[in-house]
Structure 1
């Protein structure tokens, strides 16, 4: 696919159904950090009884994540970010994560 063509916006099924939702899950977990932390803490403190004791924390976490998964604006943000990363990879041949690892930590 040549840069600047409409093909740059085309998404394969695996991108639509797997890669973008994966990005959404990762970002949603960051946006729901308070709920993730509360659920994790509850589970660590409750041991085997976590299924019973952490219902409220689990429900709050699920609700927060669901809110993001079902948000079409959030999906579009993740899709555009994915398309940008894919375009950069096609241009440079280096995945974004590898490029970020090579950046100096101090300047």
Structure 2
């Protein structure tokens, strides 16, 4: 099990400032999927004028994402997810991407 206090002392700069925020962005995009879809649709429908015509959708998307980025509980959730993945990697030596790939079947 991951001990929060112990793991906090061992987080490197790149983990705190790059890897955990990356998880936060991915999860926030999933949770704001409605706003992402609205903004994407608006951009596709308006083409070059998207900067002017999609301000409402862009603002809604930014507001949704910012809400998650500024939520300390959401940060802790993403940090715990990262720490679990890091622990699995340290135990197995296999990166997450490779663990999730299907193993080839023999013929």
Instruction: After TM superposition, give the deviation of residue 96 of structure 1 in Å.
Output: 1.5
Using a 3 Å threshold, how does the CA distance of structure 1 residues 42 and 100 change in structure 2: closer, same or farther?
A: same
Greater than 6 Å deviation, 4+ residue runs: none
Q: Is the 8 A contact 1:8 1:87 kept in 2?
A: no
Aligned length: 101
TM-score, normalised to structure 2, is 0.87
Instruction: After TM superposition, give the deviation of residue 102 of structure 1 in Å.
Output: 2.2
Gapped runs of 5+ residues in structure 1?
none
Q: How well do the aligned residues superpose, as a CA RMSD in angstroms?
A: 1.9
Gapped runs of 5+ residues in structure 2?
none
Q: Which has the higher contact order (CA 8 A, sep 6+)?
A: 2
2:93 matched residue in structure 1: 93
